[in-house]
């Protein structure tokens, strides 16, 4: 079972801070459990691992099988919460090099998560003449980036398979009733999957949003849900042994001692996109009203040779959370070299995990000595079940953290500002006045 350890924390935060925070954590916990706190209408993810729609789950599996049988590639179109979780899980469990591997499952290409023409073009080139399907994902159904990308790939599908053939290869994951994507899907007869009303984008990886692309890659999605359900039970019991309580309490306390930036680190490169998912989860949930820990991420040991300098000696505003997902699946012992020209025979026969673990201990000691406190999140292994636990753990701790901070962890009003400006500057009808103001500002810069 997932565990949170505080590494030599006594020198950073007053003990027993957890006891002092317990009454506030209890309230935050009740708000999450009852949906009675700020943004409570978006706490559907709290019981999702127990209450998820079994009929839809079977349809997800059936759609994944169909895609596996009729497609060499799946284009997954989405941004933010409609993108990062699926990519995080696929890279973590299948490899960041998933598309390069020999396998029976389709390649997966993520598009619509930016506005780069080169990125779109490249995916079209990579797919070439291969059979492909599209999973377009947008809770609102109106987000510009995925909507634009979808135009390109839908046109491609129609060219290749004709209008009716294209309709059989498009899977839309969106709101059950509202939005342009839902209307289009109904009109065209695409198979649709639902982002439940009460689950916000960044908490939606365990809905069809994440599950369909993940299942297409052959990952055991039941295992993922089972792990999340286990952690849901642990969080429901709460208390000082609950890892989500411990993590939320420690980071809240650290924040109040001036640690304004949390860096999430892992010694496994396959964790990179799980960290991206985590950044959106915490950044959008906490960063508002002039408050919130800034979530950043690093990849060890690579970043110890770049960001390591700042972490060790830069502004003392950092704390670090290291995720460790059990032993690696492939023990790799360092070869012996009789001539020992590189002087590495002291490591001969040692497993890479052994070397990594010593590097991790050395890093924790160095960073905490340099004024960067450390939390360690450990899972038993790198399996769907453990990742399900980790996802739910981070979600629950995020809800608790937002409530401890006094903000609504389930809205994101700040992201509208750039959207309004972009629409105005692109000439979207209805934004004419703002367009005039913005153009004047651009001219006077």
Any idea which residues carry the catalytic annotation?
284, 419
C-alpha closest to that of 406 among 307, 266, 263, 290: 290
Among 43, 214, 412, 424, binds ligand F6P (CB under 6 A): 412
Among 39, 80, 238, 371, binds ligand F6P (CB under 6 A): 80
Buried residues in 109-145 as b, exposed as e (16+ CB within 10 A): bbbbbeeeeeebeebeeebeeeebbbbbbbbbbebbb
Using rule CB under 6 A, residue 87 touches ligand F6P: no
Find the DSSP H helices in 217-351. Answer: 221-237, 243-255, 272-286, 308-313
When the beta carbons of 82 and 133 are compared against ligand F6P, the nearer one is: 82
Residue 46 CB-half CA count within 13 A: 26
* Smallest gap from residue 214 Cβ to ligand F6P (A): 17
The CA-based angle 292-298-300, given to 5 degrees, is: 145
When the beta carbons of 143 and 408 are compared against ligand F6P, the nearer one is: 143
* Smallest gap from residue 145 Cβ to ligand F6P (A): 8
Using rule CB under 6 A, residue 408 touches ligand F6P: no
When the beta carbons of 12 and 83 are compared against ligand F6P, the nearer one is: 83
Give the three-state DSSP class for 358. Answer: helix
Residues 179 and 147: their CA atoms lie apart, in Å, by 12
Among 37, 44, 49, 81, binds ligand F6P (CB under 6 A): 81
**Choices 140-148, 182-190, 247-255, 344-352; region in contact with ligand F6P by CB under 6 A:** 140-148
Using rule CB under 6 A, residue 283 touches ligand F6P: no
**Choices 75-83, 101-109, 258-266, 357-365; region in contact with ligand F6P by CB under 6 A:** 75-83
Backbone angles phi, psi at 192, to 5 degrees: -120, 150
CB 65 within 8 A of CB 220: no
Using rule CB under 6 A, residue 138 touches ligand F6P: yes
Tokens of 372: 């960067």
DSSP letter (8 states) at residue 288: B
Using rule CB under 6 A, residue 82 touches ligand F6P: yes
Give the three-state DSSP class for 47. Answer: coil
* Smallest gap from residue 174 Cβ to ligand F6P (A): 8
* Smallest gap from residue 427 Cβ to ligand F6P (A): 20
Backbone angles phi, psi at 174, to 5 degrees: -160, -170
Tokens of 134: 């599209």
C-alpha closest to that of 410 among 139, 119, 220, 11: 139
* Smallest gap from residue 142 Cβ to ligand F6P (A): 7
**Length, in residues, of the chain:** 445
* Smallest gap from residue 42 Cβ to ligand F6P (A): 11
Site string for ligand F6P, 284-303 (x = CB under 6 A): x-------------------
C-alpha closest to that of 95 among 178, 208, 217: 217
When the beta carbons of 29 and 284 are compared against ligand F6P, the nearer one is: 284
Using rule CB under 6 A, residue 415 touches ligand F6P: yes
Using rule CB under 6 A, residue 140 touches ligand F6P: yes
DSSP lists the bridge partners of residue 111 as: 77
When the beta carbons of 68 and 280 are compared against ligand F6P, the nearer one is: 280
Among 39, 85, 201, 402, binds ligand F6P (CB under 6 A): 201
**Choices 5-13, 80-88, 360-368, 403-411; region in contact with ligand F6P by CB under 6 A:** 80-88
Using rule CB under 6 A, residue 79 touches ligand F6P: yes
* Smallest gap from residue 146 Cβ to ligand F6P (A): 6
With residues binned 3-state (H G I as helix, E B as strand, rest as coil), the percentages for the chain, rounded to 5, are 55, 15, 30
C-alpha closest to that of 132 among 141, 140, 121, 123: 123
Residues that bind ligand F6P (CB under 6 A): 79-82, 138-140, 143, 146, 201-202, 284, 412, 415
């Amino acid at each position: 079972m997932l565990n949170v350890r505080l590494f030599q924390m006594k020198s950073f935060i007053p003990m027993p801070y957890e006891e002092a925070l317990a009454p506030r954590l209890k309230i935050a916990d009740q708000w999450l459990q009852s949906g009675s706190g700020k943004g409570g209408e978006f706490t559907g993810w709290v019981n999702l691992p127990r209450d998820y729609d079994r009929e839809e789950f079977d349809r997800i599996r059936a759609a994944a099988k169909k895609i596996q049988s009729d497609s060499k590639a799946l284009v997954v179109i989405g941004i933010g919460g409609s993108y990062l979780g699926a990519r995080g899980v696929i890279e973590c469990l299948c490899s960041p090099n998933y598309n390069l591997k020999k396998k029976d499952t389709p390649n997966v290409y993520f598009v619509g998560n930016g506005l780069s023409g080169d990125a779109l073009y490249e995916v079209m080139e990579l797919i070439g003449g291969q059979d492909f399907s599209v999973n377009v994902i947008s809770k609102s159904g109106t987000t510009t980036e995925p909507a634009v990308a979808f135009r390109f790939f839908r046109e491609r599908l129609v060219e290749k398979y004709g209008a009716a053939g294209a309709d059989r290869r498009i899977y839309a994951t969106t709101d059950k009733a509202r939005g342009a994507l839902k209307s289009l899907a109904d009109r065209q007869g695409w198979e649709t999957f639902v982002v439940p009303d009460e689950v916000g984008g960044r908490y939606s990886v365990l809905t069809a949003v994440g599950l369909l692309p993940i299942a297409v890659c052959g990952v055991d999605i039941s295992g993922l849900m089972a792990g999340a359900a286990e952690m849901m039970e642990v969080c429901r019991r709460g208390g000082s042994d609950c890892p989500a309580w411990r993590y939320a309490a420690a980071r809240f306390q650290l924040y109040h001692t001036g640690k304004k930036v949390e860096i999430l680190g892992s010694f496994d490169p396959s964790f990179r996109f799980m960290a991206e998912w985590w950044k959106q989860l915490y950044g959008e949930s906490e960063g508002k009203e002039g408050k919130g820990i800034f979530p950043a991420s690093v990849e060890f040991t690579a970043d110890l040779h770049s960001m390591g300098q700042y972490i060790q000696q830069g502004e003392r505003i950092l704390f670090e959370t290291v995720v460790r997902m059990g032993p690696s699946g492939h023990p790799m012992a360092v070869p012996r070299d009789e001539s020992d020209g590189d002087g590495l025979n002291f490591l001969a026969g040692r497993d890479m995990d052994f070397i990594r673990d010593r590097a991790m201990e050395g890093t924790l000691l160095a960073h905490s000595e340099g004024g960067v406190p450390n939390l360690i999140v450990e899972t038993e292994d790198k399996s769907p079940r453990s990742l399900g636990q980790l996802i739910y753990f981070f979600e629950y701790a995020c809800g608790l953290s937002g409530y401890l901070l006094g903000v609504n962890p389930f809205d994101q009003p700040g992201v509208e500002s750039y959207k309004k400006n972009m629409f105005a500057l692109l000439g979207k009808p209805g934004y004419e006045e703002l367009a005039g103001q913005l153009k004047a500002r651009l001219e006077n810069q």
